[in-house]
Amino acid sequence: MPFLLIIIGLIEYLTLMNGEQGSEIKGINNLSGWLSVVQIFIILNAFGWIRNLQLFYGLLGEKDKLIKDLKIADPSLYSFFIYYELAVSLVLIFFTVILVYYMFKRSKYFPMIFIIYLILDLVVEALVLVLFSSVAETPLIAKEKLIVGAAIAVLLIVYIKISKRVKVTFIH
C-alpha cells in the first residue's frame, strides 16, 4: 500500500504539472482521488479501534481468570494494560468521529487534526511496546505494527502537507 501511495502521488503531481496549475484547480475541491485513500485509512483505523475496544472489554471480565491461568508475573501491570487499551480505544474512536466530521465539512483544520491523529496513533502504539511488552502476548506484532504504522503515517503526512488537492479542498 505505501508504494501505491507514492505512485498515485507522483501521478497527481505530474497531472498538476501538465497544465492544470493555476490559482484554481478544476474539479479538485472534492474528496476524491488520493483523499479517498485517506478516507479509507480513517475508516479502517476506526474499525480497528472498535475491534480493539470489543476485545479488551471482553478481556476485562476475564482478567482475573487470565492472570491466574497464564500465570502473569505482574498482575497489576496486566490490569493497567487492559484499562489503558480500553481508554485509548475510546479516545481514538471519539477522535476519529471528530476527524470524519472535519473532513466532510472540508474544514481548514482537517489537515492539522489528521496529522495530530496520526502522531497520536503512533505514540499510543509506541507506549504499548515500551510499557507493556512484558505483559503483551506478542511484542513482535506490536513492533511490526509500529513500524508499518510509522511508514504509513509518514506517507500520509507528506501527502497532506504537499498535495495541491488537499490545499484547495481544505484551505478556504
Specify the residue for cell string 507506549. 127
Q: What gap in Å lies between CA 11 and CA 15, rounded to an integer?
A: 6
Compute φ and ψ for 134, nearest 5 degrees.
Answer: -75, -25
- pTM for the structure as a whole: 0.74
pLDDT digits (tens, 9 = 90+) for 99-149: 989 888 888 898 999 999 999 999 998 888 888 777 766 667 778 888 988
Give me Rg for the CA atoms of the chain: 20
**Grid coordinates of 134:** 512484558
| pLDDT computed for residue 20 by the predictor | 43
Whether 117 contacts 100, CB under 8 Å: no
Distant-in-sequence contacts of 14-22, Cβ < 8 A, 24+ apart:
16/164
Check residue 105 and give its pLDDT.
85
pLDDT per residue over 12-29, tens digit each? Answer: 544 454 444 444 444 445
